[in-house]
Amino acid sequence: MPKSIYESIYRDLKRRIESDEFAYRELLPSENTLVQTYNCSRNTLRRAVGRLVTDGYVQTMQGKGVRNIYRPVEQTAFTIGEIESFRESALRNGQSYRTQVLLFMELTADEVLAGKTGFPVGAEIYYLQRLHYLDEKPLILNHNYFLKECAPGLTKEIAETSIYDYLEGTLHMSIVNSRRIMTVEKITEIDEKYLELNVEDYNCMAVVTSYTYNSDGIMFEFTQSRHRPDYFRFQEHAVRKG
């Protein structure tokens, strides 16, 4: 499946680290050793290792070696740094999931919506409200806005399973990158109703606003994800750049 050498090496090393082949804080084999193992050039190997660094799996130390700093991720954690749908995330954690479509409608972007989402005024939009269940507990209330032009033929049925499968599998769109902003906001009545929250308990929640672009550089999706605060957990890894 991997279409390049460096990616297959990256995946293999990742797998080996995740399966505890190297102890925590242990050094990986040196570049020269790994080059012989994978029978590739040093550049290609370094490219694979470089991705492990940005993923937070290893840490390179000039003159010393490459240290394994991988720690298993707790359950229900949404790993950031990748674009992962709710369904993919649930699958990865081996949990049962279900999506309920609360609202499916088409609308045209007026000035208010355009200002809020970034879509041009007059754009044809699919607007969805979807409730995501994890292990039969409603955790996330999503407000999705899709550019109709980029997601033609979207239906309520598709939205109940996986919109991304439809976009990538059927429409052959490639999703490239996404800008996300996390904030804490007050709970609304609709949140309280669908997420089974009690204002006496929590009166605010985690909100992730995302702008997603396809390979043509067009922003085709604007989504606001409203998360139950007691189940929300976002994990991230940062590298300090000299």
Partner DNA sequence: ACCACAAACTTGTTTAAACATGTTATACTC
Partner DNA sequence: GAGTATAACATGTTTAAACAAGTTTGTGGT
Q: Which residues bind its own copies (CB under 8 A)?
A: 3, 7, 25, 53-54, 56, 59, 61, 67, 69, 71, 77, 80-83, 174-186, 202-206, 213, 215-217, 227, 229-230, 232-242
Q: Which residue among 1, 23, 43, 74 contacts DNA (CB under 7 A)? A: 43
Q: Does 42 bind DNA (CB under 7 A)?
A: yes
d(CA 138, CA 161): 16
Given the complex with its own copies, which of 99 and 214 has the nearer CB atom? 214
Q: Which is nearer to its own copies, 104 or 220 (CB)?
A: 220
49-78 footprint of DNA as x/- string (CB under 7 A): x----------xxxxxxx------------
- Stretch near DNA under the rule CB under 7 A, chosen from 46-54, 72-80, 82-90, 183-191: 46-54
Cβ distance to its own copies smaller for residue 56 or 104: 56
Contact flag: residue 40 with DNA (CB under 7 A): yes
**Measured in whole angstroms, how far is the alpha carbon of residue 205 from the centre of its chain?**
19
From the CB of 103, what's the least distance to its own copies, in Å? Answer: 25
Residues forming beta bridges with residue 133, ordered by sequence position? 98, 138
Interaxial angle between packed helices 42-54 and 31-38, expressed in degrees from 0 to 180 and rounded to the nearest 10: 110
Closer by beta carbon to its own copies, 57 or else 145: 57
Binds DNA (CB under 7 A): choice among 15, 24, 32, 82: 32
Q: How many CB atoms lie within 10 A of CB 57?
A: 22
Beta carbons of 224 and 209 less than 8 angstroms apart:
yes
**Per residue, what are the HEC states of 191-221?**
HHHHCCCCCCCCCEEEEEEEEEEECCCCEEE
Helix (H, G, I), strand (E, B) or coil at 38: helix
Report which DSSP code applies to 81: S
The whole-angstrom separation of Cα 173 and Cα 215 is 8
Minimum distance of its own copies from residue 23's CB (angstroms): 12
Tell me the number of residues near DNA by CB under 7 A.
25
Of 17 and 104, CB closest to its own copies: 17
Q: Measured at the alpha carbon of residue 149, what is the angle toward residues 182 and 221, in degrees to the nearest 5?
A: 5
Strand 97-108 relative to strand 78-79: parallel, antiparallel, unpaired?
A: unpaired
- Binding region for DNA (CB under 7 A): 3-7, 28, 30-33, 40-44, 46-47, 49, 60-66
